[in-house]
Structure 1
């Protein structure tokens, strides 16, 4: 659920920031709508995955390990750990920052978008 929320919020922050910067839709409205829409989509897709997993596994013989070709587990890096925390911080800042820190919406969204881009490149 946390990963679903962070992914939904990150998507919403980046899209809402640039659409607000262009003057199409206000940041506070669009960021909440996209976050909620993506979060509900993630929950529905999880339920669908649970529903079809046994059928795909039994009839087609496919597992995610076979599709992904995972040979060996990758080691954890401290850079990736920091990038994950940066992504979590940016998502929370972009959604809840204007309410908690009393910063303008567009500044919070822009700072969050920059942190999201940096953390994605670090991952």
Structure 2
């Protein structure tokens, strides 16, 4: 995770953070009054395609930009509230996990680590990354809002996961194929800007990726199971069942820890192989 902080000494990474935040917020804000799913909390968000794309291309700058952009969107979209606190962290991981997992799954060939989808193996890696990061973002936000007694975990976690994943799976591949060659030509891919020494070396990166997947999907499944089975929450009925229950908090917390531990185990250094050669 060293690069998350070391990037702030690099002017171009700071600019990419600001650019990511501005684009994400600019696309989020118009939809704030569009099709609300939970008024004041979330709505249909095609802009959710950007965190994964920015995370892959801009690395830690994309993660920070996603978190900051979501907060700006809440401020100017009139939805700033308690959900914005963990909305920041959830959207950070929505951009953070993609670049961490890109070279850690064992699917990306060592001789072509470019952050684009130019093979079926990369497409498969992208799909796994999208589902994992979408679920991670969802349980981070839903865990907090259920604990605060505001929104039921089952409903919110499923809604956010689907809201994230649909945009990323449908719009992401063509957008990445369109943008990557131009961004690469401009020398703005994060591995073209940062030094390999500024990136955490990590350890057991494939195990770290597995832990992140288990933490994200396991947290979603277990959290929904506990909240629907014990507290009568419904998947597609907002406000049903009991909220703010310790059982949900305790059941999901270990999976949140797995996500954090898994992300610390992964590196991102392997994406420098292409440039090193």
Q: TM-score, normalised by structure 1?
A: 0.71
Map of 1:103-122 to 2, 5 A cutoff?
A: 106=248, 107-122=250-265
| CA RMSD across the alignment | 3.1
- The 1:19–1:90 alpha-carbon spacing in structure 2 relative to 1, beyond 3 Å, is same
How far, CA to CA, are the matches of 1:96 and 1:53 in structure 2?
A: 34
- The 1:53–1:115 alpha-carbon spacing in structure 2 relative to 1, beyond 3 Å, is closer
Checking the alignment, whether the CA contact within 8 Å between 2:203 and 2:265 is kept in structure 1 is no
Alignment deviations for residues 50-81 of structure 1 (CA, whole Å, 9 cap, x no partner): 233445566x5x4735345669xx98832x22
Unaligned runs of 5+ in 1: none
Alignment deviations for residues 10-56 of structure 1 (CA, whole Å, 9 cap, x no partner): 11111111111111111111111111122123222332122334455
1:84 and 2:227 matched: no
How big is the shift at 1:120?
A: 2.5
How far, CA to CA, are the matches of 1:76 and 1:111 in structure 2?
A: 21
Q: Secondary structure at the match of 1:35?
A: helix
Unaligned runs of 5+ in 2: 1-126, 231-246, 267-277
1:40 aligned to which of 156, 166, 169: 166
How far, CA to CA, are the matches of 2:181 and 2:218 in structure 1?
A: 39
Match of 2:141 in 1: 15
2:176 aligned to which of 46, 49, 65: 49
1:96 aligned to which of 211, 221, 229: 221
How big is the shift at 1:111?
A: 2.3
How far, CA to CA, are the matches of 2:139 and 2:167 in structure 1?
A: 17
Higher relative contact order (CA 8 A, sep 6+): 1
How far, CA to CA, are the matches of 1:67 and 1:93 in structure 2?
A: 35
- The 1:41–1:67 alpha-carbon spacing in structure 2 relative to 1, beyond 3 Å, is farther
Checking the alignment, whether the CA contact within 8 Å between 1:84 and 1:119 is kept in structure 2 is yes
Match of 1:31 in 2: 157
Checking the alignment, whether the CA contact within 8 Å between 1:93 and 1:108 is kept in structure 2 is no
Structure with more of its chain in helix, by fraction: 1
